[in-house]
């Protein structure tokens, strides 16, 4: 017997988070991470109630024991809000099946505040000098490379911004980019 689950917000609206997770079960290699979702979904509901975040990550090692693939997901919620599911890592689904690529996709959170947008990205092992930020219209292109690891992510910005007001801070592998919204 297969149970179908759906999150409910406090307003009683149906949430699609469980459906999004179900789609991740189909991915080879990564799909095993999503088996047995019933306990995970219960945990996600508790996290939603608490207004927190949960994260699961794993590694695939090569023959010599070195890490070849990194994969995972993050669920972030606000009290009464819809959980946001984000996958990360360097395992990409292709027409021929999963492939380990050299470039990792970092975890990135975007906060749409009243007068600014705050982007927070996890870039473990990087230094501020390794990071490059570029803008193409309403997309922030984040790239970081230290010779051993490479990260890249295109972030769709939820509002028009003034690129000249960019404030960047980086500490302990966490990048914060604050962008003021463009005046109308």
The owner of tokens 């230290």 is 146
Half-sphere exposure of 54 (CA within 13 A, CB side): 13
- Total length of the chain: 184
pLDDT value of residue 129: 94
H or E element, residue 17: helix 17-24
- Domain residue ranges of the chain, discontinuous segments joined by +: 1-100, 106-184
Provide Rg for the chain, Cα atoms.
18
SS3 3: coil
pTM of the complete model beyond 0.75: no
Q: Which residues pair with 80 in a beta bridge?
A: none
Give rounded-to-5 percent helix, strand, coil for the chain.
15, 50, 35
Structure tokens at 81: 């809000």
Q: Biggest alpha carbon distance in the chain?
A: 57
pLDDT tens series, the chain, 184 aa: 444 434 444 333 334 555 555 555 555 555 555 555 555 566 656 665 555 676 777 777 777 777 677 788 777 765 455 667 777 888 877 888 878 888 888 989 899 899 999 999 999 989 999 999 999 988 999 999 998 889 999 999 988 998 888 999 999 999 999 999 988 6
pLDDT value of residue 145: 93
Fold that domain 106-184 belongs to in CATH: Immunoglobulin-like (2.60.40)
Structure tokens at 120: 């927070």
Quick check: 90 and 101 in contact, CB under 8 A?
Answer: yes
């Amino acid at each position: 017997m297969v149970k179908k689950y759906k999150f409910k917000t406090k307003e009683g609206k149906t949430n699609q988070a469980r459906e999004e997770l179900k789609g991740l079960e189909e991915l080879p290699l990564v799909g095993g991470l999503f088996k047995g979702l019933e306990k995970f979904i219960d945990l996600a509901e508790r996290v939603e109630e608490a207004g927190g975040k949960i994260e699961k990550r794993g590694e695939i090692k090569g023959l010599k024991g070195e890490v070849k693939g990194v994969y995972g997901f993050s669920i972030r919620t606000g009290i009464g809000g819809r959980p946001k599911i984000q996958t990360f890592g360097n395992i990409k689904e292709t027409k021929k099946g999963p492939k380990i690529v050299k470039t990792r996709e970092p975890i990135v959170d975007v906060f749409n505040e009243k007068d600014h947008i705050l982007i927070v990205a996890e870039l473990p092992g990087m230094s501020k000098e390794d990071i490059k930020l570029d803008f193409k219209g309403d997309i922030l292109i984040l790239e970081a490379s230290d010779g051993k690891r490479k990260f890249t992510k295109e972030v769709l910005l939820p509002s028009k911004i003034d690129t000249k007001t960019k404030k960047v801070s980086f500490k302990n592998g966490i990048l914060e980019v604050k962008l003021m919204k463009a005046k109308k």
